[in-house]
Amino acid sequence: MIDVRLLRNDPGGVRTALARRGKPEVMAQFERALVVEGAARELQARREALRAEVNELSKQVGLARRDGDASAADALQAKSRDLGAQEATIAGEADALQAELRDLLLRIPNLPHTDAPDGKDDGDNPVVKGPFVPDSFAEHQRVPHWETAAALGILDNERATKISGAMFTMQRGAGATMSRALCQYALDMNSDAFEEIRPPSLVTTATLTATGQLPKFADDAYAIERDDLWCIPTAEVPLTSIYAGEVLDVDTLPKRMMAHTSCYRREAGSAGRDTRGMLRAHEFDKVEILAVTTPEQGPAMLIELRDRAEALISGLGLPYRIIEICTGDMGQSHHRSFDLEVYAPGCDNWLEVSSVSWFGDYQARRADIRYKVLGEKGTTVANTLNGSALAVPRVWAAIIENFRRPDGSVAVPAVLHKYMRGIEVIGPR
């Protein structure tokens, strides 16, 4: 969440930054937060004044008792009780306002970085690198991956739907092997600098709130209400909270972590969107890379994470481009963000396969992740960044389409060969 002190001390600057997102509902929340924060401060001041008066009356009661003036002591006590009741009432009102303010701050999005491009929606996202595409695509590459995969027997969504319902996928044979190979490839490519972690796939409400998924995106998440747990939508969620509530030594930053997990998304807002093949699913595998840094380390780390994601896609030999996310298309927690997209000739579409984002101190403030500099007073809220090193479904789909051969078989990218148990070409089963 944004710093409440920023809201209090620079409301104009916050208003200007949030206005760049172009969301009227966000501005309404911000204006309400200003009112609530001011009212809460005023009530707190009144409460402290009453408390001070009650304390002074308590001293006077003691003096009256000492002097043997019982009547005066009783009158002072009655006045103290009345003021105490007023303080209790004000305390309840202040607590209610603080609760409303916290809820508003949890819903108000992050402030866009000054370098983030302005725009209304995804149509305004500028291409900042690429596109790296061949001059043309052959007709045999223009077949949708779901048709090729079904013919090869490596994608069985019909039975996946029988088992689990709509929008679940199931890879089989070499298709399943390639899904695993993609994840191992991503882990190996980042093992030089990132600690591998296998976090829990179920997390608490507090953990899901720390990264910004709650309360705003509750409808997109899978809840296990009996146990107050949630299925993770991405490994970003548990990785971010590994250091929640901790104060880190600045000399240990940046912290670099990576994880391969299954991810679960209800995709409540996907009605009418293309759900064929591997384009959109409730469950999928992904490798996430994440860093906890100082604010000064943030900009360079953002570019490093972006470059690492690019190296993975480039290494697979897929046509790709990098776009920067404009303010109107930016996610709730994002301070600055890039997407990597691959071109799928069978779908005739650019598919997002990685999102790399810098969150500033927005997530770390929610999770209470701080660091301390030796010799300096106090602590500082850390910064967090993350990127999809490799999300399987759309990369898998793009490989099937781009590497389809005239006979209907699919060549496996060379970087995956060592993970494929000797399979270099996927033919009919």
What is the Cα Rg of the chain in Å?
27
- 26-51 pLDDT, tens digit each: 999 999 999 999 999 999 999 999 98
Measured distance CA(64)–CA(366) in Å, rounded: 50
Mean predicted lDDT score pLDDT of the chain: 95
pLDDT at site 233: 96
Look at residue 274 and tell me whether its pLDDT is greater than 80: no
Q: What is the 3-state secondary structure (H, E, C) of the chain?
A: CCCHHHHHHCHHHHHHHHHCCCCHHHHHHHHHHHHHHHHHHHHHHHHHHHHHHHHHHHHHHHHHHHCCCHHHHHHHHHHHHHHHHHHHHHHHHHHHHHHHHHHHHHHCCCCCCCCCCCCCCHHHCCEEEEEECCCCCCHHHCCCHHHHHHHHCCECHHHHHHHHCCCCCCECCHHHHHHHHHHHHHHHHHCCCCEECCCCCEEEHHHHHHCCCCCCCHHHCCEEHHHCEEECCCCHHHHHHHHCCCEEEHHHCCEEEEEEEEEECCCCCCCCCCCCCCCCCCEEEEEEEEEEECCCCHHHHHHHHHHHHHHHHHHHCCCEEEEECCCCCCCCCCCEEEEEEEEECCCCEEEEEEEEEECCCHHHHHHCCEEECCCCCCCEECEEEEEEEEEHHHHHHHHHHHCECCCCCEECCHHHHHHCCCCCEECCC
CATH class of 4-107: mainly alpha
- 187 pLDDT band, cuts 50/70/90, is very high
pLDDT given at position 429: 78
Q: Can you give the pTM of this predicted structure? A: 0.92
Q: What is the pLDDT of residues 410-425, one digit of tens each?
A: 999 999 999 999 999 9
What is the model's pLDDT at position 375?
Answer: 93
The arithmetic mean of pLDDT across residues 155-170, rounded, is 95
pLDDT at 272 over 70: no
Asked if 289 and 386 touch (Cβ cutoff 8 Å), the reply is yes
| Span 87-111, pLDDT tens digits | 999 999 999 999 999 999 999 999 9
pLDDT band for position 275 (cuts 50, 70, 90):
confident
67 is written with which tokens? 């002097």
Domain spans, the chain: 4-107, 122-426
CB 350 within 8 A of CB 321: yes
- Confidence at 268, pLDDT banded by 50, 70, 90: low
User: How sure is the predictor about 267, in pLDDT bands with cuts at 50, 70 and 90?
Assistant: confident
Measured CA to CA, the distance from residue 171 to residue 278 in angstroms comes to 10
pLDDT of 140 above 80: yes
Residue 200, pLDDT score: 98
Chain centroid to CA 399: how far? 27
* pLDDT mean over 151-179: 96
Residue type, 329: D
Q: Scan for tokens 């990685």, then name that residue.
A: 354
C-alpha distance from residue 197 to each of 205, 234, 307 (Å) = 21, 13, 21
**294-311 pLDDT per residue, tens:** 999 999 999 999 999 999
Q: Report how far residue 366's alpha carbon sits from residue 210's, in angstroms, rounded to the nearest whole number.
A: 5
The gap between the terminal CA atoms of the chain, to the nearest Å, is: 51
> Could you give phi then psi for residue 75, rounded to 5 degrees?
-65, -40
pLDDT category, 270, cuts 50, 70, 90? Answer: low
The pLDDT of residue 73? 87
Residue 276: predicted pLDDT? 87
Alpha-carbon span 53 to 67, nearest angstrom: 21
Question: In the predicted model, is pLDDT for residue 271 greater than 80?
Answer: no
pLDDT over threshold 60, residue 322: yes
**Residue 327 backbone zone (phi > 0: left; psi -120 to 50: alpha; other: beta):** alpha
CATH code for 122-426? 3.30.930.10
**Mean pLDDT, residues 176-189 taken together:** 98
Q: Are 340 and 116 spatial neighbours (Cβ–Cβ below 8 Å)?
A: no
Segment 221-239 mean pLDDT: 96
- The residue written with tokens 């204006």 in the block is 31
Average pLDDT of 70-76? 89
Segment among 78-87, 126-135, 367-376 with least mean pLDDT: 78-87
